[in-house]
Chain A
Amino acid sequence: MNLFADGLAWIFDPAHYGGQDGLDTRSLQHIGISLLVLAISSVIAIPLGYAIGHTGRGRAAVIAISGGVRALPTLGLLVVIGLIVGIGLTAPVIALVVLAVPSILAGAYSGFESVDRRTIDAARAVGMTEWQILFKVEVPLGLPLLIGGLRSASLQVIATATLADYVGAGGLGHFIFLGLKTNDYSQMLAGSVFVVLLALLSELIFGLLQRLVVPAGVTAGKSSHVRRRPVRSQAASG
């Protein structure tokens, strides 16, 4: 408990804020890196996931590859890429994108696969083109699972973005590396607590997003405000 108290004392010490190595500066860098990685991963994974989900082709190959890629150790990948491109932001961003893409990809194509085939048939019957089906039916209905994929990717990225400072790219990893190397465990704990706080913040935001962004029609079937009796029968018999 003493160690935890020291860690909290380190967090509340005003000397550890401000400047290049302050907890606030580093937290903002950490958030920036995570957002950049999520943006890039989304641009790669979402179109790919939608293509797989919509056409149903390439599913097995992509699942196998993304499953294998998930097993890659991010630090090892970061060092190997760093030996090619040098220190700075590039190597950690590439390594973290590799980490995030499988989760977002899975969210995207499973979201599409969760859409009832009858709904899509109905959309075709109504006369929608393929693109209209994609954007008006599949995307909105697949949104809950996509947000779920983004949520889990965000959590992994925030937790692993501590590795970015292995090559001096900034972020909260600074406190963990410096604390570890100099046996300053209160500093290490402070950095870790901040990473946890950021992760919880991400969970909160994505949880809210999941509620706001899902179309009313998707939640309608789950709640009780569906009409119990068909409207027609009264009109027909009346």
Chain B
Amino acid sequence: MFTAGRGRLVALGAVVVGAAIALSGCASSDPLANGGAGGSSTEAKATLIVGSQDYYSNEIIAEIYAQALEDGGYTVDRQFRIGQREVYLPEITASKIDVFPEYTGSLLQALDPKAAGGTKEVVYEALKAALPTGVSVLNEADASDGNSWTVTQALADKYSLTDIASLKNVTEKLYVGGNSELQTRPYGPKALESKYGIKIAGFKAVEDGGGPLTVKALVDNQIQLTNIYTADPNIKTNNLVALSDPDGLFFPDNVVPVVSKKVDTAAADILNKVSAALTADDLISLNSESVNDQKSAPSIATAWLTSKGLLK
């Protein structure tokens, strides 16, 4: 006879067995610890935390760093898509993150808003000086992904737009579109008005970081001016024009790994090799694979590292 009491006991038993199985999975020791998968090296390499911005291109670079380090025997804890600089910069300076791909000029301006610009070497040296103790930068790469004021080819042709100052020629209403924090940046619409005397009709927030909504708004002429990153493959695909910046409104933004004290010489060597191999064209094609071919960051990273012979 199947009484209510029996049924309850069976249910309780099932819950206990299920919980035991689940908890045993949680409690098992990390299989990668204690010199893991058959390495001949006897030293235990540290676990490094690699972070990235909430930007797909930055995530690809971070994944490249992570895979290169893993290939060198390190255990990597990936903490990608952390957010904007205001969010992760305190984490880097508190050394809670060990490796983070950054851009020289933007990071310098974030650390020292009054910094003077210059060539990429000047900015790199200034950045080294501006970093807090415990944080350092390794070699910068040739690849850069800076900000730019971008317009459509049609607008550029109509008003003969070549550099940022030539925006003064525009007689129609100029709406700036982009992430809302663009309004607070030192190169933002306020700088256009104060430095170049360009009349901005208004700001339209589009919160996708120069992504498809922003590009579509620019192409459809709902906004006339926006900030598109220079390594964005959309510039070529949609026939956009990134206005040249002879006055250095934007600082050069070369890709550079920001590292904490935990990163030893061997790890630094690995990252420097990656930086040496990363050219500007490389970065654009990496981005293109993500945006146009919809490939995932890990597969793009593996393909690139293999093509450069950086994976053992």
Chain B residues whose C-beta falls within 8 Å of the C-beta of A183 in the assembled complex = 86-87
Whether A79 and B213, one on each chain, are in contact in the complex, defined by CB atoms closer than 8 angstroms, is yes
Give, as a whole number of angstroms, the nearest-CB distance from B300 to chain A. Answer: 23
Chain B residues whose C-beta falls within 8 Å of the C-beta of A232 in the assembled complex = none
Whether B180 and A87, one on each chain, are in contact in the complex, defined by CB atoms closer than 8 angstroms, is no
Whether B86 and A88, one on each chain, are in contact in the complex, defined by CB atoms closer than 8 angstroms, is no
Whether A182 and B204, one on each chain, are in contact in the complex, defined by CB atoms closer than 8 angstroms, is no
Q: Does B279 have its Cβ within 8 Å of any Cβ on chain A?
A: no
The residue that B179 contacts in the complex, of A83, A88, A181, with Cβ under 8 A, is A181
Whether B180 and A177, one on each chain, are in contact in the complex, defined by CB atoms closer than 8 angstroms, is yes
Give, as a whole number of angstroms, the nearest-CB distance from B89 to chain A. Answer: 10
A79-B213, A183-B86 known; A86 vs B207 contact (CB < 8 Å): no
Whether B212 and A83, one on each chain, are in contact in the complex, defined by CB atoms closer than 8 angstroms, is yes
A20-B202, A87-B213 known; A181 vs B222 contact (CB < 8 Å): no
- A227 and B212 CA atoms in complex are apart in Å by 69
Whether B180 and A86, one on each chain, are in contact in the complex, defined by CB atoms closer than 8 angstroms, is no
Q: Does B184 have its Cβ within 8 Å of any Cβ on chain A?
A: yes
9-residue interface stretch from A5-13, A137-145, A160-168: A160-168
Q: Does A178 have its Cβ within 8 Å of any Cβ on chain B?
A: yes
Question: At the interface, is chain B mostly helix, strand, loop or mixed?
Answer: mixed
Whether B87 and A87, one on each chain, are in contact in the complex, defined by CB atoms closer than 8 angstroms, is no
- A166 and B205 CA atoms in complex are apart in Å by 7
Give, as a whole number of angstroms, the nearest-CB distance from A175 to chain B. Answer: 9
Whether A167 and B213, one on each chain, are in contact in the complex, defined by CB atoms closer than 8 angstroms, is yes
Whether A182 and B181, one on each chain, are in contact in the complex, defined by CB atoms closer than 8 angstroms, is yes
CB-CB contacts of A170-199 with B at 8 A, as 1s and 0s?
000010011001110000000000000000
Give chain B's interface residue range (CB within 8 Å of chain A).
Answer: 20 to 34
CB-CB contacts of A150-170 with B at 8 A, as 1s and 0s?
000000000000000111100
Whether B84 and A181, one on each chain, are in contact in the complex, defined by CB atoms closer than 8 angstroms, is yes
Chain B residues whose C-beta falls within 8 Å of the C-beta of A165 in the assembled complex = 180, 205, 207
Q: Does A82 have its Cβ within 8 Å of any Cβ on chain B?
A: yes
- A82 and B222 CA atoms in complex are apart in Å by 12
A165-B205, A166-B207, A168-B204 known; A86 vs B181 contact (CB < 8 Å): no
Q: Does B228 have its Cβ within 8 Å of any Cβ on chain A?
A: no
- A182 and B183 CA atoms in complex are apart in Å by 11
Q: Does B281 have its Cβ within 8 Å of any Cβ on chain A?
A: no
Instruction: List residues of A (25-48) whose CB comes within 8 Å of B's CBs.
Output: none
- A86 and B6 CA atoms in complex are apart in Å by 62
Give, as a whole number of angstroms, the nearest-CB distance from B225 to chain A. Answer: 14
Instruction: List residues of B (156-204) whose CB comes within 8 Å of A's CBs.
Output: 177, 179-181, 183-184, 202, 204
Whether A182 and B220, one on each chain, are in contact in the complex, defined by CB atoms closer than 8 angstroms, is no
Whether A87 and B204, one on each chain, are in contact in the complex, defined by CB atoms closer than 8 angstroms, is yes
Chain B residues whose C-beta falls within 8 Å of the C-beta of A82 in the assembled complex = 213, 216
Chain A residues whose C-beta falls within 8 Å of the C-beta of B84 in the assembled complex = 181-182
The residue that B205 contacts in the complex, of A79, A83, A168, A182, with Cβ under 8 A, is A168
Whether A86 and B220, one on each chain, are in contact in the complex, defined by CB atoms closer than 8 angstroms, is yes
**Can you list 16 A-B contacts with CB-CB less than 8 angstroms, sorted by A residue number?**
A20-B202, A82-B216, A86-B216, A86-B220, A87-B213, A87-B217, A87-B223, A166-B205, A166-B206, A167-B206, A178-B205, A181-B84, A181-B180, A181-B207, A182-B86, A183-B86
Q: Which 10 A-B pairs give the minimum distances between C-beta atoms?
A: A168-B204, A183-B86, A178-B180, A181-B181, A168-B205, A87-B217, A166-B207, A177-B180, A86-B220, A182-B181
A-binding residues in B (CB < 8 A): 84, 86-87, 177, 179-181, 183-184, 202, 204-208, 212-213, 216-217, 220, 222-223
Given A87-B213, A165-B207, A167-B206, 14 more contacts at CB 8 Å?
Answer: A79-B208, A83-B212, A83-B213, A83-B216, A88-B222, A166-B206, A166-B207, A168-B177, A174-B180, A174-B205, A177-B207, A178-B181, A181-B84, A182-B184
